[in-house]
Each structure stands twice: as C-alpha cells, then as structure tokens.
Amino acid sequence: MVANDARADFFTPDKSGILAAVQRREAELIDRLRTLVEIESPSSAKSAVDQAQTVFAGWAEAAGGTLLRHRHRHFGDSLEVRFGKPARGEKPTLLLGHLDTVWPVGTLAKMPFKVTRDRIAGPGVLDMKAGVLMALTAIETLQEMQLLHRPVTLLLHGDEEVGSPASRKLTETIAQRCGAVYVLEPAQGAAGAYKTARKAVGMYRLSVQGVAAHSGVDFEKGHSAVVELARQIEALHALTDLTKGITVSPGVIGGGTQSNVIAAEAWVETDVRIARTRNLARMDRALRSLRPFDPACKLTMTGGMNRPPMERSKGTVQLFRRAQRFAADLGIAIEEAATGGASDGNFTAALGVPTLDGMGAVGAGAHAVHEHLERRHLVPRTALLAAMLL
C-alpha cells in the first residue's frame, strides 16, 4: 500500500489540471442532477428506480462503461458499470452508491429541484444523486485527460434506504474482488468530513402478551401488556452505553384496544447501534434475554442486527491519509469523522476491504425537507474523487 502510494504520487499529474477539467463539466453535472432528481425514485417504487438506473446507464455507456444490470424482483435493479482495462493482478476500485431515496413520489410538487448561486436543493440531491454523478464526472474527466489507467467498477443499488435486502449479496461479492471501496454517500457535517467509521445498525421488535380483562369488573384478573411494556422500555433504554458507542433507542410503540380494557398486547420497535464488532453478540444476547416483570406476561423479541459496524481499520485510514494529501494538492482540507448512520460501506468494511465513505456531496438535510448541497464543494470534491482513482 505504501509503495503503491509513493508510485501513484510520483506519476500523479498536476491536480489543478483535473480541477479545471472538472470545472468545465460542472454545468453538465448539474443538468444531469436535475434529470435524476426529477425521476422520483423511492425505494418502494421499483419501476421508478429502474427508470433512474436506465437513464444513468445511458450516460455511463456513452462514457465507455461496460454495463451489467442485476435484476431484482421487488426492488429497483442494481447497475454495475466497469471502466478501464483490468491489468494483470490489479484489483478494481469500487465506487458504491444508490439511486433510491427516502422521498415518496409526489414530493417534487412541494420540494422542487432548485439551483441557486450557493445551493442545489431537492429530494435526493444530497443522499445521493449528486454523489453518483460526481463519480461519473470524475471518471469522464480522467478519461478525457487519458489518466484512467486503473480498473474502476461503479455499482448502484435501488434498495439502500431500506437496508439493502436485495442488493447486499451483490455488494459483498463484488467488493471481495476489489482493492478499495469509495462510498458516494454525503460527507459529514458542514465541513464535509469523510467517514472512516460507522456503527452497526439493528432493529428489534419486542411484543408483549398480557392478559385482557374488564378494567372495572375484573381488574385483578388482568395483566396489562401496556404496563409491562412501559417497564421493558426502561430496561431497553438502560442497555445504552455511550462510552462503548452503544445506543438502544425505543422508537415506536403501540398496544391496547380501549381504555376500559386491560391490554392484552403491546409492542415496541427499537433501533440499536453498536460501534464495535466485539460487542455485537453480547448485545444481541442481552436484548433477547429480557424477562417479564410480571410473570403472567410473555415477551417475544424478533428482528436483529442488519448492518455490521464499519470499524476504523488500517486500510481505511491509509485511504483517508491519501485523500488528505490529494485534497491539500487541490487546496482543500478534509477531516475525518465517525457516524452512527449506516451505509452499504458497512458491508464492505466488514469484509476487510478498505472502505472510505462520505465521498459524495457536502450539504445538509439528508432525509429532511431542507435537503440541499453546497455548490462550492461540488467541483473540488469531484476532482478529489478523480484524484483518488489515479
């Protein structure tokens, strides 16, 4: 890795040339961003996500990419695009992204695509339609400058926002053949830090079965699932350990039928985040071994961990240091950050493939009505992405 870095630096051309070439493509990037954003593509709408994939595939093919469409039945297809000649023994770099968003069809009516001097707003601009276009622009720029000598695989999914149920296997299979993974998720915070660590994410559902009774006539015969649930929520919350980077957050509850009925059923859905792999099994056991406070009530825990943590590995830190050096060449500063949010980078990092995340746009409001990106970062970050593919 170190030797490779030295070689890459030695042959690295003037980064300002890349910056200028990306600058010339900015208008096209924003134009394409409008096209993609105006195809509303929530994870739940397969045909819409497929349409966004098709449009993107057209651009990627025109840029000389070899397309491979992986069909999914219930979610949008995954699109794999290969660029560059695979040299002997040289592993490709994987650019990983998604074209699904959290925004339902119809959102554009009240949250239209909008470009101002400083910002670009609209559903999915930041998370992450700009990111995938930055990747394509970076590749096109290197091709134009005849600098794309390494094989690059671009992989876009349509189910990331719902936990990647259909695409996970594909991500893992392809990542295993790759030397590094760059995730096109938005950068962290206003400074736009790259993400070198992410927590594992799990979703657990605790169902409580009590004993129903008339609250006036047979109060003593009842065993309230709602009261039991209230106690269990405290027990769940108490599993949080911030010093270890563990959070257990009961987020949605339900139960009971009427106020004059002692509740027979109640439930809570709990979000669990864990920073370290070594705490996964222990936490899973703790969550599954909750005991009822009222022995007449029954507990059932379902769900589990969805994404493993992306730990700050040596390989990831090396990628980050390289990005920092290239950023300095481009006249920008890059910080690193850890986050509780998860991405498909969690899967690739867990396989031991060096993964650098947050290489997409810089902005704020992902998944929120003020979602936007800051224009001043668009060109330099794209140039940095290109430099990282040299």
Grouping H, G, I as helix, E, B as strand and the rest as coil, residue 233 is: helix
Cα separation, 207 vs 239, in Å, equals: 18
Residue 314 CB contacts under 8 Å (≥ 6 apart), including other chains: none
Residue with the CB atom nearest Zn ion in the bound state: 127
Site for Zn ion in 166-225 (CB under 5 A): 185
Residue showing tokens 């010339």: 24
Q: Of 80 and 161, which has the nearer Cβ to Zn ion?
A: 161
Span of 74-82, 123-131, 222-230, 305-313 interacting with Zn ion by CB under 5 A: 123-131
Site for Zn ion in 316-345 (CB under 5 A): none
Q: Of 228 and 357, which has the nearer Cβ to Zn ion?
A: 357
Total residues at interface with Zn ion (CB under 5 A)? 3
Residue 169 CB contacts under 8 Å (≥ 6 apart), including other chains: none
Q: Of 224 and 346, which has the nearer Cβ to Zn ion?
A: 346
Q: Of 96 and 138, which has the nearer Cβ to Zn ion?
A: 96
Residue 67 CB contacts under 8 Å (≥ 6 apart), including other chains: 57, 60, 61, 79, 80, 81
Residue 25 Cβ vs Zn ion, minimum distance, rounded to whole Å: 23
Residue 186 Cβ vs Zn ion, minimum distance, rounded to whole Å: 7
Residue 130 Cβ vs Zn ion, minimum distance, rounded to whole Å: 11
Residue 343 Cβ vs Zn ion, minimum distance, rounded to whole Å: 6
Indicate whether 127 belongs to the interface with Zn ion (CB under 5 A): yes
By the 8 A CB rule, do 359 and 365 touch? no
Tokens of 81: 């695009």
Residue 125 Cβ vs Zn ion, minimum distance, rounded to whole Å: 12
Phi first, then psi, for residue 277 (nearest 5°) are -55, -40
Span of 57-65, 120-128, 134-142, 375-383 interacting with Zn ion by CB under 5 A: 120-128
Span of 49-57, 126-134, 202-210, 310-318 interacting with Zn ion by CB under 5 A: 126-134
Grouping H, G, I as helix, E, B as strand and the rest as coil, residue 367 is: coil
Strand order through the sheet with 119-121: 114-115, 119-121, 372-374, 363-364
Span of 28-36, 125-133, 148-156, 293-301 interacting with Zn ion by CB under 5 A: 125-133
Q: Where are the alpha helices (DSSP H) in the chain?
A: 2-11, 15-23, 26-37, 46-62, 130-144, 168-176, 225-237, 280-288, 314-329, 345-350, 375-387
Q: Of 128 and 193, which has the nearer Cβ to Zn ion?
A: 128
Q: Of 50 and 371, which has the nearer Cβ to Zn ion?
A: 371
Q: Of 137 and 339, which has the nearer Cβ to Zn ion?
A: 339
Which residues contact Zn ion by CB under 5 A? 127-128, 185
